[in-house]
Amino acid sequence: MLARRIIPCLDCDLGVPGGRVVKGIEFKQIRYAGIPWELAGKYYQEGADEIVFLDITASHERRETMVDVIKKTSESVFVPLSVGGGIRSVDEATDAFHAGADKVTVNTAALKRPELISEIADRYGRQAVVVAIDAKRRPGREEGRVVIEAPDGPCWFECSFYGGREFTGIDAIDWACRAERLGAGEILLTSMDRDGTYDGFDIPLTGAVSSRVKIPVIASGGCASPEHMLEVFQKTSASAALAASIFHFGEWQIGEIKRYLRENGVNVRL
């Protein structure tokens, strides 16, 4: 049986030489956490099942820095590496794969031009394409939306792009299903309402998406404790849980969380 995965996420500011891992709160405030490849190496040693790098600057000239970060990381980290942030074309994905990435994560560019998902999947296989979705809760019922009956009332979810700065009007749950049909191998699902809040994963959102697609869903946003991870694995069929701050600022080690999950009946790799 496949294990549930624990994935640390490194949001990288590549505006400084060598890059820095940063952490935003509700997509706004920023705090520095360390050097990307050093943190990746530490998390690998602690038992991370995979590592995600997101280039939050995502400007063209900084892509070279990301290539360096991946090259350096892949010399000493032997778990799958996923890279995202500003990837707009198959050529840009190719750069990431050639640097040693196993998967690329696409978000804004795929919302603007959904064929990008198929193009990368055709060339590198669907397992190499992760579609990241930043979902914002919209209370109430609306015609043509996938409405979820959350404990605090009905709502739907809207996709955001440009790193949470703009909204698309696109239904996030619907988009996840469409991304799967287009060839996505995984969905990285971030709750914008929970991201950086330490309130735990958005269970209704994660449950709604993971029950509608067959591909793995990575839950993201709001994780502050092993209990939050346990909750998302017990209440939804998410394949993986992604977190950042909880690891960066020394609150929990990955190994501790995995042992806790195993003790509570979750199949994880120890």
Q: Rule CB under 8 A: is residue 98 a binding residue for other proteins?
A: yes
Q: Give the Cβ contact number of residue 14 at 10 Å.
A: 24
> Which region, judged by CB under 8 A, interacts with other proteins, from 34-42, 57-65, 67-75, 156-164?
67-75
Q: Look up 11 and say whether it is catalytic.
A: yes
Distance (Å) of CA 195 to CA 26, 38, 164, 246: 5, 24, 11, 12
Q: Give the number of C-alpha atoms closer than 13 A to the C-alpha of residue 89, restricted to the C-beta side.
A: 5
Q: Specify the residue, 71 or 259, whose C-beta has the smaller distance to other proteins.
A: 71
Is the Cα dihedral 203, 5, 126, 94 positive or negative?
positive
Q: Which of 89, 118, 127, 225 binds other proteins (CB under 8 A)?
A: 127
Contact present, 219 and 249 (Cβ < 8 Å) = no
**Interacting residue with other proteins among 30, 125, 141, 234 (CB under 8 A):** 125
Nearer Cβ to other proteins, position 197 or 253? 253
Q: How far is CA 256 from CA 172, 200, 226, 227, 251, in A?
A: 33, 18, 8, 12, 10
The verdict on 3 binding other proteins (CB under 8 A) reads yes
Selected binder of other proteins within 17, 60, 78, 169 (CB under 8 A): 78
Helix axes 172-182, 203-210, angle to 10 degrees: 30
Query: CB under 8 A: which stretch of 44-52, 112-120, 140-148, 162-170 binds other proteins?
Result: 44-52
Residue among 3 and 109 whose Cβ is closer to other proteins: 3
Is residue 269 part of the contact set for other proteins (CB under 8 A)? Answer: yes
Helix (H) or strand (E) holding 189: strand 186-191
Query: Among residue numbers 155 through 214, which ones bind other proteins (CB under 8 A)?
Result: 185-186, 214
Phi-psi region of 133 (alpha: psi -120 to 50; beta: other; left: phi over 0): beta
Using the rule CB under 8 A, which residue among 18, 27, 34, 74 binds other proteins?
74
* 193 classed as catalytic: no
Active site residues: 11, 134
Binding site for other proteins (CB under 8 A): 1-3, 5, 44, 47, 49, 71, 74-76, 78-80, 97-100, 102, 124-127, 185-186, 214-216, 239-240, 269
